[in-house]
Amino acid sequence: MIAERRHWATRAWALMKGLPLAGRIGFALVLFWALAALLGPSLAPHPVGAVVAMDVYGTFTAAHPLGTDYLGRDMLSRILHGARLTIGLALAAAVAASVTGTTIAILSATIGGWIDEGVGRLMDALISIPSKMLALVMVASFGASPTLLILTAAFSYTPGAFRIARSLAINVRTLDYVQAARARGEGTGYIAWVEIFPNMVNPMLADFGLRFVFVVLLLSGMSFLGLGVQPPDADLGSLVRENISGLFEGAPAVVMPALAIASLTVGVNLLIDALSGRSSQVEQ
């Protein structure tokens, strides 16, 4: 109990020290991007749209550590702003997908019967549409707006979250204390929320991290194709797209935003892998 009361920073530090090297790298990358999303835009040396340099596609200099883009804007500032947009959109979509998927799964598993069966079949059909196809079809029909992108990504990854959550809920459902609660005459909502949900939080958090990675890759891919975030707004994927002609000059403006995305997604993946590996060791 005393351990539980320690300051969250101390606990985070203790957690990190228990991780293998790859996990620590992942932890550092995730922490870095969390801070960048929160504070980045206020730390950015230049306004996001300001043309500040004479040379376009400039290389690494002291004034512009990540070079300049196709108009002579500061890439560091553009990336700090773009990272907030990428992370914000992806978090919104991943939270929506995980919460919706988990809620439907727990209710469906608790109710059981033909409702459970029907919901399962419907989710199986929805999971058969590759997320990029769904996103392309949605954008073709409704155009690309931030709300639509979040909805599309959330809709696309809900069935996956549902599948994981349902298999967890089914396992928990058969345990003695749930049977005891049923015998006491507790209602469906009570059993779902108080008995089943708390016992699947940890694996669902790991799954949430994976969904976040999928959504970041999906939305950056769409922006890269010019079918995601529209100018003048720019997420990390749009930054790669708008500077693509600088590739032939070897400009950092193309590779840096792409590297930023990769370091974010790889970081989350490494952290989750280390954390779930650790918890499974504890279980053994």
Partner 1 sequence: MAEASRAIRASAVRLVLNRVAYGAVTLLLVSAVIFLITSWLPGDAAQELLGQSATPEAVAALREKLGLDRSPLARYGAWLRGLATGDLGVSLAANTPVADLVATRLPKSLLLAAVTAVVSVPIALTIGIVSAMWRGRRLDRSLNVATLSMVAVPEFLIATIAVLVFAVKLRWLPALSNAVDIGSASQFFRTYAMPVLTLCFVIVAQMARMTRAAVIDQLNASYVEMAVLKGARPAHVALRHALPNAIGPIANAVALSLSYLLGGVVIVESIFNYPGIASLMVDAVTNRDIPVVQACAMIFCFAYLLLVLVADLVAILSNPRLRHR
Binding flag, residue 126, partner 1 (CB under 8 A)? yes
The pair of three-digit structure tokens given for residue 239, joined into one six-digit string? 């930054």
Helix (H) or strand (E) holding 74: none
Q: Judge contact between 3 and 14, C-beta under 8 A.
A: no
Count of residues in contact with partner 1, rule CB under 8 A: 45
The pair of three-digit structure tokens given for residue 225, joined into one six-digit string? 């194709």
Binding flag, residue 124, partner 1 (CB under 8 A)? yes
Binding flag, residue 96, partner 1 (CB under 8 A)? no
* Region 56-75 residues binding partner 1, contact defined as CB under 8 A: none
Q: Judge contact between 236 and 220, C-beta under 8 A.
A: yes
If one counts every other C-beta atom within 10 angstroms of the C-beta of residue 163, the result is 17
Q: Choose, by CB under 8 A, the member of 62, 125, 183, 282 that binds partner 1.
A: 125
Contacting range for partner 1; rule: CB under 8 A; set: 9-17, 66-74, 98-106, 254-262: 254-262
Q: Choose, by CB under 8 A, the member of 44, 66, 139, 178 that binds partner 1.
A: 139
- Nearest residue (CB) to partner 1, 44 versus 254: 254
Closest by CA position to 219, among listed 267, 127, 156, 284 = 156
Binding flag, residue 129, partner 1 (CB under 8 A)? yes
Q: Choose, by CB under 8 A, the member of 45, 61, 115, 142 that binds partner 1.
A: 142
Closest by CA position to 191, among listed 204, 203, 177 = 177
- Nearest residue (CB) to partner 1, 227 versus 234: 227
Q: Judge contact between 165 and 200, C-beta under 8 A.
A: yes
Binding flag, residue 108, partner 1 (CB under 8 A)? no
Closest by CA position to 266, among listed 227, 212, 225, 203 = 212
The pair of three-digit structure tokens given for residue 121, joined into one six-digit string? 């079949």
The pair of three-digit structure tokens given for residue 204, joined into one six-digit string? 């669902």
CA distance 176 to 197: 15
CA distance 235 to 12: 29
CB of 268 to partner 1, least distance (A): 7
Determine the 3-state secondary structure of 231 from DSSP: coil
- Nearest residue (CB) to partner 1, 49 versus 250: 250
- Nearest residue (CB) to partner 1, 200 versus 217: 217
Binding flag, residue 240, partner 1 (CB under 8 A)? yes
Binding flag, residue 16, partner 1 (CB under 8 A)? no
CB of 244 to partner 1, least distance (A): 8
Give the amino acid at 162. Answer: F
The pair of three-digit structure tokens given for residue 248, joined into one six-digit string? 């032939």
* Footprint of partner 1 (CB under 8 A): 20, 22, 124-126, 128-133, 136-142, 213, 217, 220-221, 224-227, 237, 240, 244, 247-250, 254-255, 258-259, 261-262, 265-266, 268-270, 273
